[in-house]
Amino acid sequence: MGHAVAVCGMPGSGKGEFAKIIARCGIPVRSMGDMIRAEVKSRRLTESPAIYGEVAADLRANFGEDVLAVRLADEVTQLMKEHDIVLIDGMRGTAEYEIFKQRWSPNFSSIAIIADKEVRFHRIQARGRSEDGDWEQFQIREAREAGWGLQTLIETAEYKLSNESSLEDLVKATNNWLVEFRQYGL
């Protein structure tokens, strides 16, 4: 049985870039954010910064705070049978963490990607995703995700990576973490 690792971090911290680096190492990645984007598409809603948060909040209100984790868990379990590591990109709530921990402990860990708020906002502005907006939308998203327990997840993550500078530095830090994790963490 492999090991599931869930990455968390505030918006714009570099979770997606971390996941891309990990994927290039042949590790399967499943994105919780992609699940929300797919839900928006399946509902045929017009993409906007507010709609993604509304859909995420609606799913949690109607199906429980752990809805995304519950929907994703079986697929990750199957992947863990064939891979030594499976990455879950975008864990945002303590309820999700509890589902993963209960399901896979001791074969579950979390990693937080950490970056300054100003740095994160500038990254979000540069990436141009339809769920990103102006400073006000950024603040709303921060508060919503913090309300799900994201700050607690970041503070209690077993591993932490600082992502304050370049993508090149994140690649180095990620690769170093992966070597260390495979050596000592599995």
- Give the residue among 67, 65, 158, 154 at the shortest CA–CA distance from 105: 158
Average pLDDT estimate for 144-160: 92
Distance of alpha carbon 147 from alpha carbon 39, whole angstroms: 21
The more confidently predicted of residues 184 and 81 is: 81
Contacts 24+ apart (CB under 8 A), 59-68: 60/93, 60/148, 64/95, 65/93, 65/94, 65/95, 65/96, 65/148, 66/93, 66/95, 66/96, 66/98, 66/99, 68/32, 68/35, 68/36, 68/96
- What pTM does this model have? 0.91
- Percent of all residues in the chain with a pLDDT value above 70, rounded to a whole number: 99
Residue identified by tokens 């906007």 is 48
Which residue shows structure tokens 């327990």? Answer: 149
Task: Give the number of other CB atoms < 10 A from CB of residue 136.
Answer: 9
Q: Sorting pLDDT into bands at 50, 70 and 90, what band is 158?
A: very high
Task: Look up residue 159 and give its amino acid.
Answer: Y
pLDDT digits (tens, 9 = 90+) for 65-104: 999 999 999 999 999 999 999 999 999 999 999 999 999 9
Q: What superfamily in CATH does domain 3-179 come from?
A: P-loop containing nucleotide triphosphate hydrolases (3.40.50.300)
Q: State the pLDDT confidence band at 145, using cuts at 50, 70 and 90.
A: confident
- What is the C-alpha separation between 97 and 111, in angstroms, rounded? 11
Q: What value does the mean pLDDT take over residues 16-42?
A: 95
Task: Give the residue-averaged pLDDT of 134-159.
Answer: 91
Q: What is the DSSP letter of 46?
A: P
pLDDT band for 186, please (50, 70, 90 cuts): low
Examine the pLDDT at 185 and tell me if it is beyond 70: no
Report which of residues 32 and 132 the model is more confident about.
32
